[in-house]
Each structure stands twice: as C-alpha cells, then as structure tokens.
Amino acid sequence: MPSHLKRCSQIVAGNAAVGVLALQGDVSEHISAFESAIQNLGLTIPVVPVRKAEQILDLMALAIPGGESTTIMRLIDKNGMRNIIQNFKGGIFATCAGMVVSARDLINETRFTPLDLLDITVNRNAFGRQRESFEADLQISGFDTPFHAIFIRAPVITRAGPDVTILAEIPQGIVAAKKGKKLILSFHPEISHDLRMHEYFLKDVLGQK
C-alpha cells in the first residue's frame, strides 16, 4: 500500500473527511490530488480511502474514481454500499467511470443498474475503441482559462435533467456537470497537474473557504 494511503487510513475516526472510494481505479491519484488541493486552499481536511460502507456515514464528501465501471458497481453492491451512497447527503466527486455509475440511465448497458445520483443519461463508451484516449482544452463555466482535460475511453452525458447544471461540452456531449453538492466529470483531473477541478469542488461545490 502506498505510504500516503497508510497515513490517511490512520486518521482518527469521526473527523469530517473527504473519502475516495477505494474499490478499484485511480484511488491513490485522487487522494494525492485532494491532499494537494486542500493544502493549496489552506484547509485542514483529512483524505481517506473508503473500503467499508460504514466509513461513508462520517464523510463530508466521497470521490468515485475512474476505473472500470462494471467492476466498481459490482464491488459497490458486494460491499453493501449502494443504499448508503444513494442516501449520502455530502458531496460527490465522480470522474469517468464514476460518471457512469452515478447516472440515472445508461445507453446500451444492461450488466448493472447505476446509482441514479442525478438525472443524466450517459453513453459509457462515447468514443469507441479507435479513440480510447485523447486530450482537449475545455472551456469550463466559471474558469478563467481552459482546463487541459485527459479523456481515457471516456463517457459523455447525452441528456441532462432541468436541475442539472452543465459546466462543459464537446461535440460528442456534456463532459462536466453538477447538481447541488455533486460534481460529475467524464475526464481524469486526478492525473493532470491542474488541481482546479478538485479545488473547485472543495471551494465552490462544498463551500469550504
């Protein structure tokens, strides 16, 4: 286990923390990005890996990382996390596969039922195998300069409900959206050197200033 995961797991229980769902995917990358973003903002919020359903209850926010959506959803159900995540009142920061499992509806996907965390329809493999990875400079609502986004077999939102705020789009669909304390992205900000998405989530979505 990476040293910073060991360090985070030793934080005293009960502290309001940002949790990163540690079942599969870019777990350590999100933990590192949130730790750096928290430091940049001058905050003192612990960041913890989440492997058990009961850990979610004391969090201020939960990140659902990129990875393999079918595997992540299977492990969420296996670990009894579905209802707890669906009823969680804190923030949700979901990226790539996290966007897929957070959706209400999926296009051409019948292997699992997503969490329905917000009213969106998602195309899980929007770019096909010929374009598994690419990068793009996104104009994101509220950002002064473009965000250089990394897409890896990325999903896109094809439909967003009236209560969902669209933050960024590309020709294939919506790639960043939010509702209340939920921020949903189709790209991987955790592997970028730009921490603005994590800082935006903490400062503007959660109101930590």
In whole angstroms, give the CA distance from residue 106 to residue 122. 5
Residue type, 22: A
What residues are annotated to the active site?
96, 188, 190
Q: How deeply is 143 buried, as exposed, middle or buried, from its count of CB atoms within 10 A (0-12, 13-18, 19+)?
A: middle
Give whole-number Cα distances, 153 to 51, 61, 63, 68, in Å.
25, 26, 19, 10
What backbone phi and psi angles, to 5 degrees, belong to 82? -55, -55
If you compute the radius of gyration of the chain from its CA atoms, what whole number of angstroms results?
16
Spatial contact of 123 and 155, defined as CB atoms under 8 Å apart: yes
In whole angstroms, give the CA distance from residue 44 to residue 11. 12
Q: Mind spelling out the 3-state secondary structure of 16-54?
A: CEEEEECCCCCHHHHHHHHHHHHHHCCCCCCEEEECCHH
